[in-house]
Each structure stands twice: as structure tokens, then as C-alpha cells.
Structure 1
């Protein structure tokens, strides 16, 4: 067995005690340590001893630190984002908001102006700007650290002339209307248990939202009608058990609300448009 294959097998055995994705974790860490992508690692692994850095990263993962913090990056939709401690890690569940927007604007030139409330490292806004090259957007977050990542990601992806970021408390002070409003608010109930490493490492303020997980959605609900332009779409991410309650909160002032589901069929977003 070649050294890299042997190291991957050993790391997978160790990580299986704390991770449900032990083999994938080991491959992602090895690819990062070797400065190659995972596809190349799997198809044409180098015939060499793994760098010591690989085992350092494995130890960090064994302590529950998220892979994205260890590698410093996370793929989302068609882009790759740089992330780090103190910033919410982009998740595949949030891609439902992007796919819903694509469906809504199908057959049109797409949204001209995009708003991302709680943008984090720029996740939803930058993915949308990548899809609609003529669009411009505004990302808002209460965390200066998150916005530093968002600004850097925008610059690295070549969107700095089309994206603007500002620190803020949700939609406070925003007077314009937007064709597409995206939001992944905190929606975890205070008593809810999360997967290993999540609450220990990711920012609490980006996860939890009161006893039912609906506090942030309650704050957003009265703001969305004034933010959404005619013909536009607002997409708000929710927890899998919150569809009925969140829909009731958000369907107001003439807005039609529907529930979008993730690939597992779970409630994942509330979509709002003008009737």
C-alpha cells in the first residue's frame, strides 16, 4: 500500500470514532495538506509520504473542529468561499434558496438588485451574483468578522464592483426595494441539540433564535414587504419543523408564502412573492 493510501486508511480509522463522514474528512484533509484537489487525490494520488501537516489537521478534527475551519474553505453552489472561526459555515441546505430563485426568475433576465440579510461570509449573495452577471447586491451582517470574510471572498471572486457589504441589524436603515431578498437567519431552538462540533465552534448568534427558533423570523416578517420589489422573490431559510409556523409569520401585507423543500423532502425555506 502506498504511503498516502496507508495514511488515509489510518486517519479514517481514527476519525470514525468521532465523525460520521470519516473517510471524506480524511480525503479533504489530505488534499489540503498536499495542496491538490480531492479529485486528483482520488484519481492520481502522489507517491510520497503525507506532510506532517496532515496529521496536525487530523488531530484538530478529532477534537471536533469543523473541516471548513481546518481547511479554511467551503464549496457552495458554484463558488468556493473562504471561512474561519467566528463565521457560520455554508451548508448544502441553504442551496434551496438559490435553486428556488433560479426557478422564480426562469425565462427572465433575472434579478437586478439582490439583498442578503445575515450574509455571513457572503454565501448567498455571492452565489447569486455568480449566476446573474448583471446583478448588483448588498450583504448585511451584525458581525464585523463575518463581513471581513465576505469582503475578501467578493474580491477574490471578482465581484467587488457589484457587491457591497455593510454592518447592520437586519434591515434597519435599508430603504430600497430589491428583486431578490435572501436570508439564512438563526433558526435553532435554544434547547435543540446540534451535531458534534457545531455549537462548540460556530458562532452562537448565527445559530440560536429563542425557545422556538423563530425569534429572528419574527423580527424579519414585518420588514420583508417593504424590501421586496414587484415581481421579486424573498427566500428565508427555516428549520425542518418550522414550515407551518414560519409561513404563518411571514405571509402578510399581501405576500403569498409557499414552502420549499430540501433534497430529503424536509421543509427548508419560505418563499414570498407578491400575489
Structure 2
């Protein structure tokens, strides 16, 4: 089942795209191989507003957000996860508006094992991120004409959460599910096992549309999520087969499995393979000496 990616997307930098009477999308001008055309911020409401993912610490995006918030009160800033391309402006927007920052916990690793060899991706993380309101799974924040409920979706990051807008059928999925690409799972912040469980969690829901943190909407959520699961299972089998043929390290596996992929994305690919191997080791299907490592040697158990 191929993933039905949608690559067409107009970011309309500096403008607010009206998606519904109470939802506006504003895309930050931070395009890259990892952020697509930029990070999507969403203004919710018509009177007192909420903001989902303020985006990167970018002067132009800050001015765009403040322009469209205008004289409306902003009560809450919801953050899907604390990668800097999503939360970088949270404190500045809070200082300008008095809004409370809302998220599911502080920055943390998915795995408590020591990882000495971690590749840091372009967006980075705000290690000292601390929300004013620490949400639990299923907790709802009510505002003026809107209610937003947390749906924890660890995988891309341990503290990643999606947000459901009441009575709309819309789920804001951050980087967990995106129409333009699969997400990066990068240990120790991310976990393949958590990611797969979070996909299963979404399949139990009845959302009609996903609005991701990058790119356009996902209009057939269950079909798309099932395709993502199939893709990861196929990749897992491919990695296992490379081990069976004698490949024993991540670099060699990446050179084979991602030979047609832009070399700029090979670091992310290495982390994805690492995430799969970490999961396979936890399931006793693959073995390595000590804790799984980016530069470790692996073999079939």
C-alpha cells in the first residue's frame, strides 16, 4: 500500500489562510528538507484566540502572528512538541500577549539509556522547554467558543501530542502524521515502538481531517495511517533482511536501502534505521553488544 503523499502546498508566507470560520493557518518562512515549505501555525477562534505551534524564532513569522492576532486576546499557546521549529516563538508570543503555554510535559528522552552518539537534526530541541500548563492525555482546555483536547502521540518525540478541536472532526497532528512525508524517528528523543502504538491509537479515533505541522491536510486519515504502518513494517523487514545478508552496521544499511534518497537526508535515514534496530533489539529479534548505539554492530538473534 503506497503512501498517498500530497506534495502540492502553497505556504502563502505572511498571509493567513482561512481553513474554517474559526481556523487560520500561517506558515513560517523556514523551508528545508525536514520542514518542507515551513512550519504551520494555527490560530483558533474568532474572539479570544488560541495558537497551536507558534513556530520557529523568526522575526518575520513573529510579526505575521502578531498582525493576525491583532487586538484579539490570546489565551493559550498549544505546543505539539519542543523542537525549535514548533516552539521557538512560544515565549515571545507569551510575553507579547500574556497567553499561557500549554504542552504535554517538558523535554525528555523516549529511552533513558545513555546515547553518546546522537545526530542533531536541523530543527534541534529546546532542552529547557517548560509549559505553564502541563497537560495529561485526554485533558481539555476550553476557551471562548472552542475546546481543545490533548491526544498524546509519542514517537517523533516522547512528549509529542496532537490536539483535537471539539465538534470539528479536526486533529492537529504536529509532526506525527504529515501529508507530504513520513516523520523522522530519532532516538533518544523518539521511539519506533511508541510511534507505531500512536498510529494504532489514531486508528481508534474518528477524526475526519488531520492538519499537520508541515504541508497540507490529510483528508482520509485512516487510509493514510494504515499506509504509514505498512511502510514502516516493510522498512523493518528490509533492515532485517540486510542483517541476514551480513550487513552489521547502520551506515552500510543506509547506503543500500537509501541509495536513491537525497544524501542530505541520509543522517535522518540513519536515525530511522537506528530506531528500527532499537525496537528489534527490544523485541529480542536482533542483538547488539550493550545498549543499542548509532555506531554499534548488529546481528540477528
TM normalised by structure 1 equals 0.31
Structure (1 or 2) with the greater helix fraction: 1
TM normalised by structure 2 equals 0.29
